[in-house]
Structure 1
C-alpha cells in the first residue's frame, strides 16, 4: 500500500517552481540592496531596520505567492511544452504588481515618500507600503483568473481593467483620508504616516488587503466577455463596486458588534492602540475573504 501520493510529475513541478522562486528572490535581494545603498545584511542585522525587514518580507511573500499561483493554474505539461509562455506570464504578473505598487506610491500617496521613510526605519510606512504591495498582488492574480490572458485583445482588456481597479483603490484612499481629516480636525493622513504611528499603518494595510480581497471576489463573480472591452469594464465596475460597498457595510456591522462603545478613530489615531488596529486588520481581511467564498463562481 502506498501512503505517499506524490508522483514524479509533482516533484518536478515543485522543483521547477522552487527554482523560479529562488531566482526571483535573488533578484529581489539585489534590488533591495541597491535601494538601501548598502548590504541588506548590514541594514537588517546591524542597523535593525524593522521597517525594511517588513517591506522585504512582503516582497518575498508576493514573489512566492505569485509563482505558486501561476504553477497551480498552469499544468506542468503545459509549462514544459511552452516554457516561453510561462516566462512571459511571470514577467507580466510581476510587471502588473510593480506598476500597481508605483501607482500607489507616486499617485495615490504622492505626498508621502514611503521608500525614504522605510530607509529611516518608519514601521508605519513599511506597513502601508507592504499592505498595498500585497493588495496589488491579489488583484493582479484575480485579473489573471478572470481573464486567463491568451491573446493581445485579452491582455489589452486586462490592462485597462487593471487601471479601473486602481481607480477604485484611489477613491477608497481618498475616502479614508477624508474620514481621517474629519475625525482629526483637518489633519492629513499622509502627513501622519511620518509620525510613525504603527497602528495607523496596520489599519491602512488591513483595509488595503481587505479591499483587494473584495475586488478579487468581484472578479471571481464576474463573467469575462472575450474581445468586448466596454462590456467587461461595465461588468467589473458593477461587481467590484458592489463588493466594495459590501466590504464596508459588513465590516461596520462586525466592528459595532465586536467593539461596542469604542471610538476606534480615537484609539488608533491618537493613542496608537495596536490592539484595536489589529482587530480592524483582521475584520477587513476576513470579510474580504468571506466575500470571495460567498460570491466566487
Structure 2
C-alpha cells in the first residue's frame, strides 16, 4: 500500500515554490524582452519569428534547469527559508544567463550582432544562442549541486563554475572555427552562420551541449572546499578541459564508426545536410553523457 507523508504546511510551501517558479519564468521573459527591446508577443505571434521563439524557449528552459537545481539544493529545514533560497538562486540564474548571453555576443561570437540576427529571423543564430544558453545552465546546475549549503562560499563557487563554462565554450568555438576554416578555404564559420547555415548551427550546438556535460563531470571528481576559491577554480578548469578533450576524441571515434562512409565536411559544410548534423549532435551529446555517467 502506498503511503505518502505530507502536512498542510508542506503542501502550502510546495504551492509557494510553484508560484515562485512561475514568477521567475515571467521575469525571465521580461528580461529577454528588455534585451531585445521589442514586443515579444508581436515577434512570436504577429511575425511568427521562429528564431526569436527558439531563443526565448532556450532562456526559459535554462532558467527551469537552474530552478530545478535550486529546489534540490535547498538545505534548510524551514520550508519558507527553502523557498527563499530557490527564489534567490533563480534570480542569480537569470543574471548569469544574461551575462552568459552577453559574453557569447561580445567575446565568443563577436563578428556579428546576435540580437539583430535573431530579430531578422536567422534560425541558425537562434539555434546557436539557444544551445549556448542551455549549456551554461547545465554547468551552473552541476556547480550548484556540487556546493554545500547556502553561503557566500557557494555563491563564489557558482561564479567560478560559470567562468569555467564560458572559458571552455570559447576554446571549443575557436577550435571549431579553425577546423571549419581549414576545410572551407579559410571561410569564416561565423559568417556562414549569419548566412543561415542551419546544419552548421546544429553541429555547433551539439558541441556546446557536449561541452556542458563534459564540464559537469568535474563535479563528480572534485571535493568541495568552501574557502579554497583559487584551487576550486583551477581544478574545475583543468578537469573541464580534460574531459572536454576526452569527449571530443570519443565523439570523433563514434562518428567514424556510426557514420562510416559519410564525408561529414561535404554533407554538413557544403551540402547543408541537417540530418547528418543532427546525428553528429546526438553522438557528441551522447558520448558526453556517457562520460558523465561513468564518473558519477
Query: Do Structure 1 and Structure 2 share a fold, with TM-score over 0.5?
Result: yes
What is the aligned partner in structure 2 of residue 54 from structure 1? 54
Mark the CA change 1:274 to 1:52 in structure 2 (over 3 Å): closer, same or farther: same
Mark the CA change 1:263 to 1:149 in structure 2 (over 3 Å): closer, same or farther: farther
Shift of 1:81: 3.6
What is the aligned partner in structure 2 of residue 283 from structure 1? 283
Shift of 1:165: 3.4
Shift of 1:175: 0.3
In structure 2, C-alpha distance between the alignment counterparts of 1:165 and 1:33, rounded to whole Å: 25
1:171 paired to 2:171: yes
TM-score by length of 1: 0.90
TM-score by length of 2: 0.90
What is the aligned partner in structure 1 of residue 72 from structure 2? 72
What is the aligned partner in structure 2 of residue 5 from structure 1? 4
Any conservation in 2 of the 1:93–1:141 contact (CA below 8 Å)? no
Any conservation in 2 of the 1:101–1:133 contact (CA below 8 Å)? yes
Shift of 1:43: 1.5
What is the aligned partner in structure 1 of residue 220 from structure 2? 220
Shift of 1:65: 2.1
What is the aligned partner in structure 2 of residue 131 from structure 1? 131
In structure 2, C-alpha distance between the alignment counterparts of 1:100 and 1:223, rounded to whole Å: 26
Instruction: Give 5+ residue unaligned stretches, structure 2.
Output: none
Any conservation in 2 of the 1:36–1:43 contact (CA below 8 Å)? no
Any conservation in 1 of the 2:70–2:144 contact (CA below 8 Å)? no
What is the aligned partner in structure 2 of residue 43 from structure 1? 43
What is the aligned partner in structure 2 of residue 208 from structure 1? 208
What is the aligned partner in structure 1 of residue 266 from structure 2? 266
Shift of 1:244: 0.8
**Bigger Cα displacement from structure 2, 115-124 vs 229-238:** 229-238
Mark the CA change 1:228 to 1:103 in structure 2 (over 3 Å): closer, same or farther: same
Mark the CA change 1:6 to 1:152 in structure 2 (over 3 Å): closer, same or farther: closer
